């Protein structure tokens, strides 16, 4: 699961470049990368098509929520690795 910012960075384009491609302002892209919890369907649709991903592959939310999500995900992986029983 990737954030909107991670998707953009994965192809090496700036906020301004993506904004031009989507027909929105760079401020809109900046705001969506900070808090995508209220993203308009039309803009979300552009992300899904441009990056060829499904809805479930995008993490939508605020920067803090994203940080906490990633932190919990990492903690779960570490816990599972530490507690994995040998076969």
Stronger pLDDT, 84 or 33, i.e. the higher one? 33
Class of domain 4-83: mainly alpha
Which pLDDT value is given to residue 72? 85
Spell out the long-range contacts of 6-9 with Cβ–Cβ below 8 A and sequence spacing 24 or more: 7/47, 7/51, 7/53, 7/58, 8/33
| Confidence band for 66, pLDDT divided at 50, 70 and 90 | confident
**pTM flag (> 0.75):** no
Compute the average pLDDT of residues 82-86.
Answer: 75
Residue 28: pLDDT over 90: yes
Q: What is the CA radius of gyration of the chain?
A: 16
Domain ranges of the chain: 4-83
């Amino acid at each position: 699961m990737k954030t909107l910012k991670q998707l953009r960075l994965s192809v090496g384009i700036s906020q301004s470049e993506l904004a031009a491609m989507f027909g929105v302002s760079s401020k809109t892209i900046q705001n969506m990368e900070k808090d995508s919890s209220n993203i308009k369907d039309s803009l979300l649709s552009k992300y899904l098509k441009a990056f060829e991903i499904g809805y479930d592959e995008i993490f939508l939310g605020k920067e803090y929520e994203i940080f906490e999500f990633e932190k919990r995900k990492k903690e779960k992986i570490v816990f599972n690795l530490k507690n994995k029983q040998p076969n």
